[in-house]
């Protein structure tokens, strides 16, 4: 018995890296998998469906069930076709992992409008374009399911040189929170994922060039945390973000201080005098920033 026996899963951006690892592990655990990948380069240019088909072939060779899809996640037509691939081949959808993404890293002053628009389109709009048709199908067919939307510590904490990517990933966090609330009525669980892994997307980022990756940062060692999220083992959890990286699996949470409540009209100077109540201690800020 596998953790995902009888389930049908869509994994976007699954032609390599993290998505490939998720798709292969899901199939090993009994899921029928739609392997979506446009097959473009890291900056979003180009298209080649062979990456998705290669993963499908490997899943089938290992005894699993999978089908390839090469649609563009950043268009609603693409998202609808990805769902159609699942329904045409397997008749249902139970799991959606929005993983597809690109990078166009530059400092904010050097980020062009095109760099901004494309990164936001693929990550934030792409999450909407894939989640919306799946959500509608689950709701209209009274078919509970689970969605994992991929955010990032770059959006949750910030990261130098990733204004476009961080903004998109922070938006995905907000979408996840809203959908987790709306999904309660329909039995749809929605969780956020902030993965840290050594992949094609991250191999040449500052500090990583020429270094051997930590084995625990390889995609196959991130995938078990995501398997947990989409399985019934996590049935009691929705609206939460898990950070999954070489440092383990941990919840990342937005928090607030007790704050300063004057109970009467107040001045800016009053806020300054109560700054110790308004703000977290520096040690807490450093811990969050380095997480």
**Quick one: pLDDT band at residue 213, thresholds 50, 70, 90?**
low
User: What distance in Å separates the CA atoms of residue 107 and residue 164, rounded to the nearest whole number?
Assistant: 9
Across 194-214, average pLDDT: 63
Asked if 77 and 192 sit in the same domain, the reply is yes
Alpha carbons within 13 A on the beta-carbon side of 195: 32
Asked if 143 and 248 sit in the same domain, the reply is yes
Domain contains 133 = yes
- For the annotated catalytic residues, the residue numbers are 165
Asked if 22 and 164 sit in the same domain, the reply is yes
Asked if 268 and 184 sit in the same domain, the reply is no
Domain contains 1 = no
**Quick one: pLDDT band at residue 39, thresholds 50, 70, 90?**
confident
Render pLDDT for 141-162 as a digit per residue (tens, 0 to 9). 999 999 999 999 999 999 999 9
Asked if 80 and 182 sit in the same domain, the reply is yes
pLDDT of residue 200: 54
Asked if 222 and 155 sit in the same domain, the reply is yes
Asked if 185 and 287 sit in the same domain, the reply is no
**Quick one: pLDDT band at residue 217, thresholds 50, 70, 90?**
confident
Asked if 193 and 243 sit in the same domain, the reply is yes
Domain contains 222 = yes
Asked if 287 and 201 sit in the same domain, the reply is no
Asked if 245 and 287 sit in the same domain, the reply is no
Domain contains 123 = yes
Render pLDDT for 109-144 as a digit per residue (tens, 0 to 9). 999 999 999 999 999 999 999 999 999 999 999 999
Domain contains 83 = yes
Domain contains 3 = no
Asked if 37 and 52 sit in the same domain, the reply is yes
Range of the domain at 264: 260-291
User: What distance in Å separates the CA atoms of residue 233 and residue 29, rounded to the nearest whole number?
Assistant: 13
Asked if 264 and 247 sit in the same domain, the reply is no
Domain contains 198 = yes
User: What distance in Å separates the CA atoms of residue 130 and residue 34, rounded to the nearest whole number?
Assistant: 13
User: What distance in Å separates the CA atoms of residue 156 and residue 289, rounded to the nearest whole number?
Assistant: 9
Residue in 177, 165, 33 with CA at minimum distance from that of residue 97: 33
Backbone angles phi, psi at 145, to 5 degrees: -160, -170
Q: Would you say the C-alpha torsion 199, 84, 168, 145 has a positive or negative sign?
A: negative
Token reading at 265: 């009209």
Give the predicted TM-score (pTM) of the model: 0.90
Question: Which CATH number fits the domain that encloses residue 239?
Answer: 3.40.50.720
Q: How many domains does the chain have?
A: 2
List, edge to edge, every strand of the sheet that includes 241-245.
Answer: 65-69, 32-36, 8-11, 95-98, 145-150, 188-195, 241-245, 248-252
Domain contains 169 = yes
User: What distance in Å separates the CA atoms of residue 237 and residue 229, rounded to the nearest whole number?
Assistant: 8
Terminal Cα-to-Cα distance of the chain (whole angstroms): 36
């Amino acid at each position: 018995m596998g953790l995902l026996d009888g389930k049908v899963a869509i994994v976007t951006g699954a032609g390599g890296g993290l998505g490939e690892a998720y798709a292969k592990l899901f199939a090993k655990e009994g899921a029928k998998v739609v392997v979506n990948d446009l097959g473009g380069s890291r900056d979003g240019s180009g298209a080649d469906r062979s990456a998705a088909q290669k993963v499908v072939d490997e899943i089938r060779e290992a005894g699993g069930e999978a089908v390839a899809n090469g649609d563009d996640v950043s268009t609603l037509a693409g998202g609808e076709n990805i769902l159609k691939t699942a329904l045409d081949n397997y008749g249902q959808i139970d799991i959606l992992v929005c993983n597809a993404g690109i990078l166009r890293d530059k400092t904010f002053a050097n980020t062009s409008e095109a760099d901004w628009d494309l990164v936001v389109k693929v990550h934030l709009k792409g999450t909407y374009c894939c989640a919306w048709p799946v959500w509608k199908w689950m709701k209209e067919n009274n078919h509970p399911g689970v969605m994992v939307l991929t955010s990032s510590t770059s959006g949750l904490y910030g990261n130098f040189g990733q204004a476009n990517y961080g903004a998109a990933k922070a938006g995905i966090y907000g979408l996840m929170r809203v959908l987790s609330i709306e999904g309660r009525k329909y039995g749809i669980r929605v969780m956020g994922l902030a993965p840290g892994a050594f992949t094609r997307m991250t191999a040449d980022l500052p500090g990583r060039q020429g270094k051997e990756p930590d084995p625990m940062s390889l995609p196959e060692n991130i995938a078990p945390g995501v398997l947990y999220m989409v399985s019934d083992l996590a049935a009691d959890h929705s609206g939460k973000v898990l950070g999954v990286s070489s440092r383990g699996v941990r919840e990342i949470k937005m928090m607030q201080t007790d704050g300063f409540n004057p109970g009467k009209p107040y001045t800016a100077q009053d806020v300054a005098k109560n700054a110790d109540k308004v703000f977290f201690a520096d040690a807490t800020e450093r811990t969050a920033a380095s997480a």
